[in-house]
Structure 1
Amino acid sequence: MILKRHLRKAYTCARGYYLAVSQPTPDAPRVTTRLHGVLKARFRHRIGPRYYSLYRLAAIEPSRWNDYVIDNKDYGDNFRAISAERYRTIINRKSLFSDHCQRHGLPTPELRVIVSPSTASLDGDRSSTRRLVAPSVRRWLELMGDRADDLFIKPDDGAYGDGAFSASRRGNRWHYQGRTTTANDLFYFIRERANEGQMRFIVQSRIQAHDKLRGLMSPTAVGCVRIVTYMRDGQAHLFCAEIKLTAGDGDTDNFGLAANGNMVSAVDMDSGRLSVGYASRSPVWPVIQPVSEHPDTGRRIEGTRLPLWEEVKSLALQAQRSLPEVKTIGWDIAITPEGPLILEGNTTYGLASLQIAHQRGFRREMEQIFQG
């Protein structure tokens, strides 16, 4: 068993180096150049082959490689060290965050229902969202009513879009995850997911992108602005921003490690204008390349100015001021026809997509944020 584990680990490692070297890019067309770069990144800079490919280090001077942050345990520990867990929990639990937004006047999608595992107890739940828990299909139907035709469902404490999916009603039938069922069966489907993971699921009204952004989004998922704020000397500040541009028929805007077809683009903090987009041309390995036009619509990305940009920045700062104990937060804000809405905050936000979007590393800035 131990031998198999070691062999599997060795195979995964070798495969990573093979993919990093075998994927041709315009930045390093020769195999020998790619091999030299990958080995140099690993042994001189402690950057593995996946991040070497993600950050397009073949096109960047080696003297700048150490500017990049690698998302790892040490990096996560820095976030946990500067903010108390009880405050981070308010953000990380989506139902608690919804309650927080209501109390502080922060616009956010309506929370319709909470579905808990069958064995869950409401003892100790003091938040106003307790009234939205549906322990039975009867309560589910009462809370759902006749208002909702499009829903978005996700784990209460999930991340990276894992486990999230949408559901749409047509007539008296619901369509989700390749199924067509009744409202009752949708409840039991969510309950089964909750039981499997022993976690709560929240059900929100699904939002739509602002009209001026629809050419930059797929029709099935709204891409959010990720805007990072931080506290210094008792004041909230803006750091950097990107927008996640959705493509294809996925349900989320998650960029992850560039394996799902979505794109990222840097947002100029002053003007709200977009840079060129970046995406992987391979779902197997991050072969990052610039994208000048949206692949589904042909709309030009670079130079597009986001609508309501001043409102987005103002909302991010207002949200940061509502939680001054959390020293830095990555906000996901959707720009909708009704205005900007905060979908969630991230207390341990990854830097990978931000650094890809901006095509530079943020190590120095993050060290200053961690130092306060």
Structure 2
Amino acid sequence: MTLRNRNAYLSEFDWYRSRSINAPFDSMLNNKIACNEVLRHHIDVPPIDFIKNKGRLVSLTDISKSVQSEAVIFALDSVHTYFMKPLAAGKGKGVHRLDSLDGNLILDGISVEKQEILELLDGTDGWLLTHGVTQHPVLAELYSETTNTLRMITTRDHGGNVGLLFSVLRLGTVQTVPVDNGSRGGLVAHVDLESGQLSAARTLWSTDEFDQHPNSGATIKGIVLPDWQGVRDTILELADALPYLQFVAWDVLLTEQGPVVIEANTSSGVNIVQVWGPQRQGKLGDFYRQHGVIS
């Protein structure tokens, strides 16, 4: 890549500076519990049942009652799937999937004894347990071993108008189970903002393209996401309902009942956008200029 071409791209430093765009509301989005509490008044979000912090495990379904880890096993039997997420980490780090299926316990896709899950719960601190959500069959067909989420970036201009800047579908692989994060080696397929049609998938770490999923063999390129117009309108309405936020990278799961917001992020690394071309003179660069991030 020539120096001239490199200068057409936004840098990680530009991304770092952009994280102040939502100030002073960054802390609300970065706090998974506070964010969940705000968003659930506007859209479906996965319920949070348990939080462990400073060594204390609390059940949110029982008026913030302190409990023992055995309570998680008991609840898992009826909930069937929990995702364990660190309170203060991103990019899929430290995420585990806990399942109960016909009396069998499964951790990250592997059958385990109860003691192994108890050791995980007791041996780590600073996490929450949120309900697993059943993804739309179209997504499950692409790759069923991970929950495959959309990253949808919305921005607000100086006139207060909200727009959808960019979207990709993230797909897990055998290397990333139980998460789908591109930063962990997953695939990302660009979503056409008008039609909801998927491009071939790429990775953040190579120039390879995948018309089909390398593990499931399912076709990716050309697939049209279900009810894309409805999903797009729902996320734009959500962004519009939060007028104090200028930039949000939404993690959205498509279900047969409609979109579910898994998380909201104060920024999205420029790498996931620029896999499909430089953005210094593109829409993201224009947005950064409006907010003084770049000149």
TM range (shorter): 0.7 to 0.9
Residue number among 55, 67, 79 corresponding to 1:148 in the alignment: 79
Q: Per-residue deviation at 1:70?
A: 2.1
Residue number among 274, 284, 288 corresponding to 1:366 in the alignment: 284
Q: 1:134 to 1:190 in 2, by over 3 A?
A: farther
Residue number among 38, 41, 53 corresponding to 1:116 in the alignment: 53
Q: Does 1:75 align with 2:15?
A: yes
Q: 1:64 to 1:141 in 2, by over 3 A?
A: closer
Q: Does 1:348 align with 2:267?
A: yes
From the two aligned structures, give the one with the greater strand fraction: 2
Q: Per-residue deviation at 1:111?
A: 1.7
Contact preservation (8 Å) 1:91, 1:346: yes
CA distance in 2, matches of 1:130, 1:97: 18
Name the counterpart of 2:178: 251
CA distance in 2, matches of 1:119, 1:165: 19
Contact preservation (8 Å) 1:67, 1:360: no
Task: Give the unaligned 5+ runs of structure 2.
Answer: none
Q: Per-residue deviation at 1:171?
A: 4.1
Amino acid at match of 1:319: L
Q: Per-residue deviation at 1:164?
A: 0.3
Q: Per-residue deviation at 1:209?
A: 2.1
Residue number among 181, 195, 208 corresponding to 1:289 in the alignment: 208
Task: Give the unaligned 5+ runs of structure 1.
Answer: 1-36, 46-62, 123-127, 281-285
CA distance in 2, matches of 1:170, 1:139: 17
3-state SS of paired residue (2:238): helix
Once the two structures are superposed, residues 41-65 of structure 1 have per-residue CA deviations (whole angstroms, 9 ceiling, x without a partner) of 5xxx4xxxxxxxxxxxxxxxxx443
Q: 1:208 to 1:130 in 2, by over 3 A?
A: closer
3-state SS of paired residue (2:12): coil
- Using CA pairs below 8 Å that are at least 6 residues apart, which structure has the higher relative contact order? 2
- Structure 1 window deviating more from structure 2 (203-212 vs 170-179): it is 170-179
Q: Does 1:161 align with 2:87?
A: no
Q: 1:323 to 1:179 in 2, by over 3 A?
A: same
How many equivalent pairs are there? 286
Name the counterpart of 2:112: 180
Name the counterpart of 1:267: 191
CA distance in 2, matches of 1:158, 1:67: 30
Q: 1:191 to 1:316 in 2, by over 3 A?
A: farther
CA distance in 1, matches of 2:38, 2:214: 38
CA distance in 2, matches of 1:322, 1:163: 31
Residue number among 180, 183, 192 corresponding to 2:123 in the alignment: 192
Amino acid at match of 2:285: E
CA distance in 2, matches of 1:252, 1:327: 27
User: TM-score, normalised to structure 1's length?
Assistant: 0.69
Residue number among 138, 143, 147 corresponding to 1:212 in the alignment: 138
CA distance in 1, matches of 2:76, 2:147: 25
Q: 1:142 to 1:279 in 2, by over 3 A?
A: closer
Q: Does 1:225 align with 2:163?
A: no
Q: Per-residue deviation at 1:278?
A: 1.1
Q: Does 1:102 align with 2:40?
A: yes
3-state SS of paired residue (2:244): coil
Amino acid at match of 1:336: T
Contact preservation (8 Å) 1:99, 1:129: no
Q: 1:95 to 1:278 in 2, by over 3 A?
A: same
Q: Per-residue deviation at 1:248?
A: 1.7
Q: 1:23-38 to 2 correspondence within 5 Å?
A: 37=1
Q: 1:143 to 1:102 in 2, by over 3 A?
A: farther
From the two aligned structures, give the one with the greater helix fraction: 1
Percent sequence identity is: 20
Name the counterpart of 1:277: 201
User: TM-score, normalised to structure 2's length?
Assistant: 0.86
Q: Per-residue deviation at 1:273?
A: 0.5
